[in-house]
Each structure stands twice: as structure tokens, then as C-alpha cells.
Structure 1
């Protein structure tokens, strides 16, 4: 659905994007994770060409946006919704007026606008609040208005620029749940920018980790979890540096199985657990465990055959 190739963007002496490639599959929630200054917001703005890259191409839903003139680009943007960090609502308009604004720009007739606005407000849980002003709403409600407005043109892609960073934890959870529901019910492809690992853990199917204008690693969460040395795995499951001989076990789909006790019984092994954790990620339970093991070395082969990633510190 989204393919960016070789993106470069320079601001003075600073390379905000330095040869970035990004591939987002249709229907997934893809997170771009990084600290302030990593280049993630510039990347998002290049996806809909609010910022035009100095080099590289951006293709959305099969259309190369970098080759379009202004008129064609404006039409293409109607299929790309955007949610802003600080809501970006018009204080002079009602809630309904804010949601209707892009429909007015698109020339949608009034009766159809009113029907669509009512439908969208119901969808985001704000039915009956159309005549309110933004100042009467909480932060979470303002963001729901922003989401409804982003959906007005029936987009295929939804871009989210730190949409929950200004919200408290409980409200963040409710907004993420709404995005997940919209992804499922509408088949929306969502590209979200965040500096919060909890956002990635809560809703993302895939993730790219950015630093210094580059993508350090990218892929499905399940795939990265099973990649030796993955930064994502280290950040989700922080463990002390291993000592020589320590074994790190990473497992997906085995979190509720008695794998360790099976090894003890089958191989008469002694296992000492040094640390670990289990998380719910991308719809499945994933775990990481640091252990020491003595006994038959065939136990490690058994664990690998069971599908666990086994890393032995040297």
C-alpha cells in the first residue's frame, strides 16, 4: 500500500532522511518508532508529500506521488487521511463543521455532507456532539474529532503523527483501541509515528525503528522478535548483558506451554532462570527468558526444534 524508496531530505547541514526505504502492506498497522530528531515525522510528511523529498520516490496504493502535478497530487491526497498530534481543530467551527471541512473542499453536496458527518461521529463514539465547540471537549474527544475528519474522504491510508502523545494513558488506550477497530472494520492501512514502545506493543503488526534519519531495522513484529540481535526485542524485553554461557530463549506461540519443564524431564537438565518477561504483541503472546543450563547439550537442539530462538552468549 505504501512504498518509499531511497528517500532523502536535507535541512541545511542536517539529513532528516538519509536513504530511507519503507514498505507497508495493505491492511496492516505499521509503526515508525524513534526518539525526537530521528526523522520519523519528516518521513510521514513525505508519504503524502506535505514535504517533498530531495530524492527518492513515494508510491501509495499503486500511484507514484512524486511524479504528480499539484492538481493530481491534491486528488491523491483525498485518499490519505492524517491525524495530528495536537488535533489541529478549527476553534471557529463546531465539531460537525470540523469533520465536514474536507468534504466541503471536495465539493460534496450539503445533504451528503451532513449524512456523512453524522455517520463518522457515530463511528468514533461522538454521536450527538456535532454542535459542540472544540473547547467543550476533552483531549481524547478532540482526537476522535480529528480521526473522524481524517476519515471523511474514505481514505485507503491513515497517517498518524504522534496522535496519542498529548493524551493520558487511559485515553491513549481508548484511542489506540479505536484505531485498531477502524483498521479491522474498514480495512484501513495505518502508518503511525510514535516514540512510545507501548503504542507499538498495543496495536502494530509491523515496525520500523529510526535513528539519525535512517531505518535501523524493519519488519513484522513476529519476524523481528525471532531475529538474533534485534533491537526491538532488546527494547521490549530488557535484560542485563549476558555472561559467557548464558542462554537467551525467545519464543512466539509457546508462552503458555511448559517448554522448560519438558526439557528438565527429557534431558535431566538443570535450568536456572535469570530473568525474563511475557508480552502480548501483534495478537500473540511472546516471551524472552535468560537462563543457565547444565546437562545434555541436545536440550538446545530440542528447544530450536520446538521453534524457539536460542542464543548462547560467548
Structure 2
């Protein structure tokens, strides 16, 4: 659905994006994770060409946006919705007026606009609030208005620019739940940028980790979890560092209550001591990570754990 190839963005001598490649599949929620200055927001603005890249291509739904003339680009942008960090609502307009604004720009007739606005406000849980003004709403409600406005043109792609960073934890969860529901019910492809690991853990199918204008690691979360040395896995499951020499780190997915470690102890007569670990609920299910020390004939026990689907990493 979204294909970014060789993307570079320069501001004078400053390199904001340095050869970024990114592929977002249709219907998935894809997170771009990184600290301030990593290049996340620049990447997002290049996807809908609010910022024109210095080099590289951006293809959305089969169209190379970087090759389109202005009129065709404007039409293509109507299929790309965007949610802003600080809502970007028009204070002089009512809630309904804010949601209707992009429909007015597209020339949608008044009666159809009214029908569509009512439908969208119901979709985001704001039925009956169309006559209110933004100052009468909470932060979470303002963001729901922003989401409804982003959906006005029936987009196939939704871009989210730190949409929850200005919200409290409970409101953040409600907005993330809404995005998951919209993804499932409308088949939306969602590309979101965030510096919050909890956002990635809650909703994302895939993730890219950015630093210094480059992508350091990317892919489906389920695949990265099973990749030795994955930065994502280390950040989701921080364990005491440095790891003692000879210690073993076990990463497992699926049912965290499977007694594979105790099975290994009984089957191979080894002693396993747990040095640290945790279990997390990710969008795709439960994932656990343990650091252990193993005494005895370790090779058969480690082979057994690998056969059971665990990622086994031995510290030299």
C-alpha cells in the first residue's frame, strides 16, 4: 500500500532523511518509532508530499506521488487522511464544521456533507456533539474530531503524527482502541509515528526504528521478536546489562504458560536459574523473555528449547 524507496530529505546542509526504504502492507498498522530528531515526522510528511523529498520515490496505492503533477497529486491526497498531534482544529467552527471542512473543499453537496458528518461523528463516538466548539471538548474528544475529519474523504491510508502524545494514559488507550477498530472495520492502512513503546506494543503489526534519519531495524513485530540481537526486543523487554558470560536469553511467543523450561530440567538433568525476565502483551499475543543460567549438559537442553520454538541466545 505504501512503498518508500531511497528517500532523502535535505534542509540546506542538514540531512533529515538519509536513504529511507519502507514498505507498509495493505490493511496493517505500521509504527515508526524513534526519539525527537530521528526523522519520523519528516518521513510522514514526505509520504503525502506535504514535504517534497530531495530524492527517492513515494508510492501509495500503486501511484508514484513524486511523479504526479499538482492537480493529480491533490486528488491522490484525498485518499490519504492525516491525524495531527495537537488536533489542528478550527476554533471558529463547530465540531460538525471541522469534520465537514475537507468535504467542502472537495465540493461535496450540502445534504451529502451533513449525512457524512453525522455518520463520522457516530463512528468516533461523538454523536450529539456536532454543535459544540473545540474549546468545549476534552483532549481525547478533540482527537476524535481530528480522526473523523481525517476519514471524511473515505481514505484508504491514515497517517498519524504522534496522535496520542498530548493525551493522558487512559485517553491514549481509548484512542488506540479506536484506531484498531477503524483498521479492522474499514480496512484502513495506518502509518503512525511515535516515541512511545507502549503505542507500538498495543496496536502495531509492524515497526521501523529510526535514528539519525535512517531506519535501523524494520519488519513485522512477530518476526523481529524472533531475530537474534533485535533492538526492538531489547527495548520491549529490558534485561539487566551486561549479560553475564555464559548466560542464555530465551524469547518465546504464544502461550507463556507452556512448561518448556521445566521440561528441559526434567528431561536433561540440568539446573536452570532465572536471572531476569518479563512477559508482555503485544498486538499479536503474549511474548516473554527470560535470562537464565544453565548448569550441566547444556547443549541437548538448548537444542530442545530451540525445537520448541524459542529463540535461544548464548552470551559469549
Q: After alignment, is 82-91 or 237-246 more displaced?
A: 237-246
Q: 2: CA distance between counterparts of 1:275 and 1:286? A: 15
Q: 1: CA distance between counterparts of 2:126 and 2:184? A: 20
Q: Give yes or no for contact 2:95–2:133 (8 Å, CA) kept in 1.
A: yes
Q: 1: CA distance between counterparts of 2:243 and 2:293? A: 10
Q: Which residue in the other structure is 2:277 paired with?
A: 276
Q: 2: CA distance between counterparts of 1:282 and 1:13? A: 40
Q: Which residue in the other structure is 1:59 paired with?
A: 59
Q: 1: CA distance between counterparts of 2:305 and 2:16? A: 43
Q: 2: CA distance between counterparts of 1:212 and 1:183? A: 30
Q: What is the CA-CA distance between 1:261 and the residue it aligns to?
A: 0.9
Q: 1: CA distance between counterparts of 2:207 and 2:34? A: 10
Q: Give yes or no for contact 1:34–1:209 (8 Å, CA) kept in 2.
A: yes
Q: 2: CA distance between counterparts of 1:180 and 1:29? A: 8
Q: 2: CA distance between counterparts of 1:207 and 1:194? A: 10
Q: Is 1:260 paired with 2:261? A: yes
Q: What is the CA-CA distance between 1:255 and the residue it aligns to?
A: 1.3
Q: Which residue in the other structure is 2:303 paired with?
A: 301
Once the two structures are superposed, residues 276-295 of structure 1 have per-residue CA deviations (whole angstroms, 9 ceiling, x without a partner) of 00011122100110000112
Q: Give yes or no for contact 1:81–1:158 (8 Å, CA) kept in 2.
A: yes
Q: Which residue in the other structure is 2:291 paired with?
A: 290
Q: 2: CA distance between counterparts of 1:44 and 1:208? A: 12
Q: 2: CA distance between counterparts of 1:124 and 1:247? A: 47
Q: Which residue in the other structure is 2:120 paired with?
A: 120
Structure 2 unpaired stretches of 5+: none
Q: 2: CA distance between counterparts of 1:251 and 1:12? A: 46
Once the two structures are superposed, residues 119-140 of structure 1 have per-residue CA deviations (whole angstroms, 9 ceiling, x without a partner) of 0000000000000000000000
Runs of 4+ with >6 A deviation: none
For residues 132-143 of structure 1, what are the structure 2 equivalents within 5 Å? 132-143=132-143
Once the two structures are superposed, residues 26-80 of structure 1 have per-residue CA deviations (whole angstroms, 9 ceiling, x without a partner) of 0000000000000000000000000000000000000000000110000000000
Q: Which residue in the other structure is 1:208 paired with?
A: 208
Q: 2: CA distance between counterparts of 1:291 and 1:170? A: 35
Q: Which residue in the other structure is 1:31 paired with?
A: 31
Once the two structures are superposed, residues 192-216 of structure 1 have per-residue CA deviations (whole angstroms, 9 ceiling, x without a partner) of 0000000000100000000000000
For residues 1-314 of structure 1, what are the structure 2 equivalents within 5 Å? 1-240=1-240, 241-296=242-297, 297-314=299-316
Structural RMSD (CA): 0.6
Q: 2: CA distance between counterparts of 1:283 and 1:137? A: 33
Q: 1: CA distance between counterparts of 2:255 and 2:140? A: 36
Give the count of matched residue pairs.
314
Q: What is the CA-CA distance between 1:253 and the residue it aligns to?
A: 1.3
Q: 2: CA distance between counterparts of 1:299 and 1:14? A: 52
Q: 2: CA distance between counterparts of 1:226 and 1:288? A: 11
Once the two structures are superposed, residues 121-162 of structure 1 have per-residue CA deviations (whole angstroms, 9 ceiling, x without a partner) of 000000000000000000000000000000000000000000
Q: After alignment, is 298-307 or 252-261 more displaced?
A: 252-261
Q: 2: CA distance between counterparts of 1:105 and 1:118? A: 18
Q: 1: CA distance between counterparts of 2:256 and 2:10? A: 45
